[in-house]
Every structure is written in structure tokens, then in C-alpha cells.
Amino acid sequence: MSDLQQYITKRRKTDAAFDEGFDEGYQAFKVGALLRQAREASGLTQQEVATK
């Protein structure tokens, strides 16, 4: 388990507010990361995507 995963696991056990919103926030982050990867793989800038 990575240091980051250990930190997240510990924080989720000790911080109810962090745990409550973690899954939803992580999913939103993943969607954004996937969109960025697709945009970059297509060779488009953010401005070009916004224009299209």
C-alpha cells in the first residue's frame, strides 16, 4: 500500500467529514482526469475543446 493510500485510509477512519465526501469527490476527480487525457491525446487545447 502506498503512503498516499495509507494516509487516505487513516484519514477516512478518523475524520467523518473527509470520509463522507471522499468517494464522490474522487469520482469527480477521475472524470476530470480522463477528460484531460482524452483531450491531450487528441492534441487539443482547452480553448479548442471549448470552441467545439
| pLDDT score, position 13 | 96
| pLDDT tens figures, 8-25 | 999 999 999 999 999 999
C-alpha separations of 17 from 2, 14, 43, 46 in Å: 23, 9, 39, 33
pLDDT in tens, 26-50: 999 999 999 999 999 999 999 999 9
pLDDT value for 29: 93
Q: What is the mean pLDDT of the chain?
A: 94
What's the confidence (pLDDT) of residue 8?
Answer: 95
pLDDT beyond 90 at 1? no
